[in-house]
Structure 1
Amino acid sequence: MFNIRTRRAALAAAAVTASAALVLTGCAGGGSEPAATYDPDEKVTLDFAFWGNDVRAEMYDEALAAFNEEYPNITVNTSFLGFPEFWEKRQTEAAGGGLPDVMQFDYSYLRHYSENGLLLDLEPYLGNIIDTEPLSEEILNIGVVGDETTGIPTSTNAWGMYTNPALLEQAGVEEFGGGDWDDYNAWMKEVTDGADAAGVELTGGTDWTGRIQNFEISQRADGEDLFTEEGEPNFTEEDLAAFWKQGDEIRTDGSVIGQQRLEEVYPLSGFDTALTASELTWDNFGASYLGNLGEGYTELGLVAPPVTEEGAKDLYLKPSMLHSISSTTDHPEAAATLLNYLVNAPEVGAAFGSNRGIPASETQLEGAELDPLGQQIADYEASIADRLGDAPPVPVTSYGQIEEKFRLIGQELVYGTLTVDEAVEQFFAEMDVLLNQ
């Protein structure tokens, strides 16, 4: 189907043959030790888990059908959940030693799972079963924790703001034209008022102070990452209080959707249920939004987040997701073969387009044939080049849990059950526990 298929298949087959006498599998302490030899003709079943929705599941079905044409001896059983539930299940599985063989992985959890010996070191497979030629050194370095490579990025993405042109037209409001956070708040109020006048159930957006990424880019605008290289908090209670207080007005004037309404449509968001006109998020969420919005919504706007300080290098490219292998897999070479396919195969690029972000692998990008949305994302990432700075340190061990605490406390602020000062005190207390557990 694609001109590199034969080369890739030959490379994988050669790697399996050359390494048939040595297979590495993780032990409970995170090390690697010899396991049974691998027969490339042996019937193998792998469990693969990802977060997403029905749209992404269909894309994986297409990709894995192509995988099975090339590797008919490897059966892949898939499962998927929403993002929070996905990590809740992984935590339960990790405690019982039963993680899936191969997993979609999020950057914020990579250090935690790696340092606890839960992920297989991929180094022995790099350059043989896992083709590294299509991946830049910068991309490969993203998946290194300590001295081990425990994840391979599938794609990169950046923080941005999606808008819904069809809803804006109903509200009689133009696209957000840029500016600072006060300008964004004023724009959301204009959208909400316009929708009220038109008799449409619509607000300008969601309380943006409930997302830790917006706090992060605000801190980066001052030249500070959220955490140091050593994993220590790099912000104060005063910093967080000032950030959360910026949401006081929009939480009470009706500019943003209420928390009770969000609970009613969960696990979808206000944006992909056409209840809000904007959403600050990672730019690879566009395909899922369009899929969930359904018929009648054919395009989205994608613009840069509000500016905290002009000229700041507050944004950065991060892996939209990685793929990792459990250290306890019984079939590490078969799992590495699947991982390589999901990261590098042009057939996977053809199935996903930009759903997982702009492909990090040159060969996968060749197969992607970006649709209008994918090209829009690529153009967006080019447009923010002047705001892109160095990526922050690998997230601290408990970053995923810290991010979730931030989100949940943000919900309490919208409900009005916590004051900002109470929220700050609670967040720092819970963050201290998570960082020192």
Structure 2
Amino acid sequence: MFSKKRSLAVAAVAAVAALTLAGCTGGGDEPAGTYDPEEEVTLDLAFWGNDVRADLYNQVIEAFNEEYPNITVNSSFLDFPAFWEKRQTEAAGKNLPDVMQFDYSYLRQYAENGLLLDLDPFLGGIIETEPLADNILSIGVVADTTYAIPTSTNAWGLFTNPTLLERVGVEDFAGGSWDDYTDWMEEVTDAGAGEIWGGGDYTGRIQNFELQLRSEGSYLFSDDAEPGFDEARLTAFWDEGQRIRDGISIPQQTVEELLPLGGFDSALTASELTWDNFGAGYLGNLGEDYPELSLLAPPVTVEGTKDMYLKPSMLHAIAANTEHPEAAATLVNFLINSPQSGEIFGTNRGLPASSTALEAADLDPLSEQIRAHEEAVADRLGDAPPVPIVGYGTLEEKFRQLGVELNFGTITVDEAVSQFFTEMDVVLNG
């Protein structure tokens, strides 16, 4: 089954698959010219979020208009599912907003259907590139064309709960291999005596599998949707989790009873491997009894490899149907690169990807941890993988579901591998 988020993506593609929209960028090898300040322009800006984020956007737009008074920006926002439902309808009518907050998982689908503007003519001109590292700019590239610019980044990390660890009398994870991490989890679980566990089964997350594959010089999926692993490699990964499932990880039935929270933000597990921008949500759910978290590098498979990468929290893109590409690019540049955007947004959209915005942002202690974490793992950061293939969400969810069944003991590793490869064949070749 598709997750709700991914099913909307597929529905959007189905609705717009026949559309081919031509972007009006001016072409050529040189950066496109700057916006004419004498031209009166109105742009539509759409984003997902809540009233808090809307107020921040309004403040940034006000600052933008101090520099560009002739560009009127009409903004609108919805929650995440409703945002993409509306984009689906607009795409079918060739009427997408000029500038859109964009999600990584939708980028390939909209780009391949000709719905997004080619931003390459604006890079180094209207859209400043000096504040954006090459590995950040490459995140928005599909088929050698830049279609979106990340507003913010996150990296894979290991959160631990110092308060829980102090309670059970176990030192924080000192780093090391996946086996070392499993040994540490076992120590916590033993000390927790059935009330606190070291963590969950990390083999239930496809991102941990990807981390290991990248360390071996491989990948999950190529740009041509070819898997970078075979049945034997996936079998080895899920076999690796058998020891964890045999009494080390939090019981799956307990996990199900905690939903929608997880073991970590219910203060029942001492660690969680996930994207580093999840920390604020964890702290909010844990409450005042747990005032801090530790953020560590994930376990290492092969020393010295580029197994990690920066992923965008979100991006900004321009619709191919815009009538004002230069003005839209001017707005995108301001939203991403301006000191005003960094000062106003802070980390509401994640840790700013632009160095100028980041320098202006007032970071809270957790955001400082995230910044320090991404700096600390810099030597492990390689190029981001290709933009997610169409159907990636289905496979990610299938991987998770099979992990749940493995933890319940209702399926064997061989059966799980067989089911995943069957699903992969349908998604990639169906």
TM-score above 0.5, yes or no:
yes
Match of 1:5 in 2: none
Give the whole-Å Cα distance in 2 for the aligned partners of 1:341 and 1:123: 17
Check conservation: 1:353, 1:369, Cα contact below 8 A: yes
Check conservation: 2:102, 2:315, Cα contact below 8 A: yes
Aligned length: 398
- Report the TM-score when normalising by structure 1: 0.78
Tell me, yes or no, if structure 1 residue 361 matches structure 2 residue 345: no
**1:3-402 map, 5 Å:** 28-32=19-23, 45-49=44-48, 58-59=52-53, 61-71=55-65, 73-81=72-80, 89=85, 96=92, 102-127=99-124, 129-196=126-193, 201-253=195-247, 255-258=249-252, 261-262=255-256, 264-266=258-260, 268-328=261-321, 336-354=329-347, 356-402=349-395
Match of 2:29 in 1: none
Q: How far did 1:28 drift?
A: 2.1
Q: Secondary structure at the match of 2:272?
A: strand
Check conservation: 2:178, 2:300, Cα contact below 8 A: yes
Give the whole-Å Cα distance in 2 for the aligned partners of 1:366 and 1:391: 24
- Report the TM-score when normalising by structure 2: 0.79
Q: How far did 1:262 drift?
A: 4.1
- Residues 6-60 of structure 1: per-residue CA shift (max 9 Å, x gap): xxxxxxxxxxxxxxxxxxxx992142259xx99965665533225xxx7xx6355
Check conservation: 1:265, 1:273, Cα contact below 8 A: no
- Residues 297-321 of structure 1: per-residue CA shift (max 9 Å, x gap): 3321011111223343322334343
Structure 1 residues 137 and 189: alpha-carbon distance in aligned structure 2, compared to 1, 3 A threshold: closer
Structure 1 residues 432 and 31: alpha-carbon distance in aligned structure 2, compared to 1, 3 A threshold: farther
Give the AA of the match of 2:244.
Answer: I
Structure 1 residues 87 and 48: alpha-carbon distance in aligned structure 2, compared to 1, 3 A threshold: closer
Check conservation: 2:203, 2:209, Cα contact below 8 A: yes
Q: Percent same amino acid among aligned pairs?
A: 56
Check conservation: 1:406, 1:427, Cα contact below 8 A: yes
Q: CA RMSD in A?
A: 3.5
Listed as ranges, the gaps of 5+ residues in structure 2 are 1-16, 26-35
Q: How far did 1:63 drift?
A: 4.0
Structure 1 residues 410 and 334: alpha-carbon distance in aligned structure 2, compared to 1, 3 A threshold: farther
Give the whole-Å Cα distance in 2 for the aligned partners of 1:93 and 1:428: 33
Give the whole-Å Cα distance in 2 for the aligned partners of 1:41 and 1:259: 60
Give the whole-Å Cα distance in 2 for the aligned partners of 1:211 and 1:86: 27
Question: Out of 417, 425, 436, which is 2:418 matched to?
Answer: 425
Check conservation: 2:204, 2:403, Cα contact below 8 A: yes
Q: Secondary structure at the match of 1:319?
A: strand
Listed as ranges, the gaps of 5+ residues in structure 1 are 1-25
